[in-house]
Amino acid sequence: MKPSISVCMATYNGSDYIREQLDSILPQLNDDDEIVISDDHSSDDTIERIKALGDPRIKIFYNTGEQGFTSNFENALKHATKPIIFLSDQDDIWMPSKVTYCMERLAGGCDLVVHDAVVVDENKNVLHDSFYRVRHVHRTLIGNLVKFGYLGCCMAFRREILEVALPFPTNRKYCLHDNWLYLVGSAFFKSIIVNEKLILYRRHTHNTSTGGIGSSTTTVGFKLKYRFYLLCRLIDRMRLDRRRK
């Protein structure tokens, strides 16, 4: 029997696309799986559209911490109860094979799997046939400290990673959830990077993050501080992990 899944999703004013995303996820889940939604106090009808589905596997919580998608994802992760975690944005579309493919890789002995995505616009027109290619990703932990390249919405992992990753580092200016989770997963556990494109990664005018597409507007100084902060926090977790053992 395969282990149960928690799909952790952060929402904020996502009513335009939330139904299509949930419709792509729910058919891939079993009855004992769950979708844990943390909402950052949306002012549109996002929550009403979710509730209208009437699916008992969907559990809704509200972010009571610092506003923003990193804290919102952390809140969802804190409420996850299953042994396998998938991260999900509110506006993408999962390919029908996503859950099966990732679960097979996790069953094969890895703890974190990261996959590629097709980048599309709001109408699902293809902008880039590979996120990896447009982002020029590095496939090592050190390479990702030089240039972060992986999306949280393309990650699935064992909940043991949360035992090290939570709570997230407190300075959210220097910590994005997907960068942190990849660093923890690759530093403490066995991670694999696969080339399969298992979601349509939707980019539109209301995205809450840049998503690694296009030219960066951050300064060199900020990038260095960001990486130094995460590296220091990673070393801190390594010390804590040794004490636990």
Q: What is the mean pLDDT of each run of 10 residues along the chain (245 residues)?
A: 94 96 98 98 96 98 93 97 98 97 96 98 96 92 90 97 96 95 96 97 70 68 95 92 60
Q: How many domains are there within the chain?
A: 1
What pLDDT does residue 216 have? 63
Residue 121 near residue 202 (C-beta atoms within 8 A) = yes
Nearest to 200 by CA among 134, 154, 144: 154
pLDDT at 52: 97
User: In sequence order, what DSSP letters do the residues of 207-225 get, joined into one string?
Assistant: -SS-TT-S---S-HHHHHH
Which range marks the domain in which residue 211 is found?
A: 5-244
Residue 54: CB atoms within 10 A of its CB come to: 7
Angstrom distances, CA of residue 78 to CA of 6, 37, 97: 11, 11, 27
Helical spans, DSSP H, in the chain: 18-25, 46-52, 69-79, 98-107, 131-135, 141-146, 160-165, 177-188, 220-244
Q: Would you give the distance in Å from CA 168 to the centre of its chain?
A: 13
Q: The domain spanning residue 9 has which CATH number?
A: 3.90.550.10
Sequence letter at residue 223: K
CA 236 to CA 168: how far, in whole Å? 12
Q: Kindly report the CA angle at 7 between 108 and 237, in degrees rounded to 5?
A: 70
Cα separations (Å) of 104 from 35, 36, 83, 94, 114?
A: 20, 22, 14, 16, 13
pLDDT tens across 163-205, in order?
999 999 999 999 999 999 999 999 999 999 999 999 999 998 6
